[in-house]
Amino acid sequence: MDRSELALVAFGGFAGALLRYGVSVAIPGAGGTLAVNVLGSFVLGTFITSVSSRRAQLFFGTGLLSSFTTYSTFAVQTASLSPMGGALNVGANYALGFAAAALGLAFGGRR
């Protein structure tokens, strides 16, 4: 990986982190985390089926979308919920995340 590729990942990560922060301000708590994970799953599914440029993949996939979506926040928020709330949060994140990824793949052209 050369310096320009590192820069693409870094700038993409910076942009994704800013977007993630914006969503967390607009939708605080587990709802915001669910929103970014579902949206990120859909966008990544669409992206990987429709964009072949390595540079675009580094910026958007590895950089932006990786910092936009978040597993660690999901895990901490889930652990802090009641057992029923935690189970619902896990179910919603996985069911909606997989559904969004499948829709993104279909939308991007992969069946």
Banded pLDDT at 111 (limits 50, 70, 90): low
Query: pLDDT (tens digit, 9 = 90+) per residue, 56-82?
Result: 999 998 899 889 998 877 888 888 899
Query: pLDDT (tens digit, 9 = 90+) per residue, 43-57?
Result: 888 888 888 899 999
Total domains in the chain come to 1
Structural domain boundaries, residue 21: 3-108
Whole-prediction pTM = 0.79
Return the percent helix, strand and coil in the chain, to nearest 5: 85, 0, 15
Residue corresponding to tokens 């793949």: 105
Q: Please return the burial class of 3, using the count of CB atoms within 10 Å of its CB with bins 0-12, 13-18 and 19+.
A: exposed
